[in-house]
Amino acid sequence: MNFKKSDKFLLIILGFDIIFIVFSLFDKFSSLNFYYFAVENDYGFAEKFQYLKFIGIAIISFILAVKSRSSNFLFFMFIPIYLYLDDSRLLHERFGTKIVSFFYKGSPLDTLIKDFRYQDIGEIVYILLISVILILIFLICYKLSDFFERYFLKKILKLLIIFGFFALFIDSIHQLSTGYLYNLITVIEDGGEMISISFITANFFKYLNEDRNKYFN
C-alpha cells in the first residue's frame, strides 16, 4: 500500500495518541502506574505531546500566511496559540473561578448537583465566551480566504467542532458520574481532544506539503 507522506505523519501521531490512551486505561483500571503518561495528567507526557501539536499548527499557519502572502492564516494562528495557553496555563480553571465568584460567594468547589461544582459552571461560561471569540477569528480567516483555502478551512472547522464536543460537553457530563464510569469518561474526554487535534495537525501538514489541487483528491 502506497502511503503519502501526510498519511504516514497522521498514523505516527495517532499512534502516540493511542499509546497514551492505552496507558491511561491501564493507569485507571489496573494496578499498574502510568500516571505520567495518562492523558488527563496536567503537564504529563501526553499533555506535552498535545502542546507540540498546538505549536505545530501555529507554525504551519504562519508558513502558509507567508507563502500565500495573505493575513488569513495569521488570524487562524490565534486559535492554536490560545488552545496551547489554555492547556498549559489552566486558563479556563483560573478564569472559571473568577467568573463563579460574581454570583456565588461560597467556595467554587461546593457542589450544585451531585459532583457538579460551581467551579464547573464558571468554566463552562468562560469556555462559551472564548468559543464565540474563536469563532469570530475563524470567520475572519474564512472571509479572507480564496476558494481552495475555504474548502480546507471547512474541514478544519468540522474537526474543531469535534474537539469542542469533547472539551465542553464530555468534560461537563463527566462531573456527574462516579467510580469506574467517571474514570472512563475522563479518558474518553482527553483522548478525544488529542485525536481531533491530531487530525487537524495532519491536515495542516498535508495542506502545506501538497499541491492545492492534489489536496482535494
Domain residue limits, the chain: 42-215
Q: The C-alpha cell of 33 is what?
A: 502506574
32 — phi, psi (to 5°)?
Answer: -75, 145
Q: Model's pTM, two decimal places? A: 0.94
Cβ contacts of 115 within 8 Å, gap of 6 or more: 175, 176, 177, 178
Helix (H) or strand (E) segment spanning residue 113: strand 111-113
Residue-level pLDDT at 54: 98
Residue 121 near residue 109, CB atoms below 8 Å: no
Residue-level pLDDT at 174: 79
Residue-level pLDDT at 6: 86
The Cα-based distances of 79 to 82, 137, 197 in angstroms read 5, 8, 12
Could you count the other beta carbons within 10 Å of the beta carbon of residue 24?
Answer: 26
Q: How far apart are CA 103 and CA 120, in angstroms?
A: 13
For the cut 80, the answer to whether the pLDDT of residue 38 exceeds it is yes
Q: What residues form DSSP beta bridges with 116?
A: 113
Residue-level pLDDT at 211: 67
For the cut 60, the answer to whether the pLDDT of residue 2 exceeds it is no
Mean pLDDT of 163-191: 90
Residue in 15, 64, 16, 2 with CA at minimum distance from that of residue 206: 64
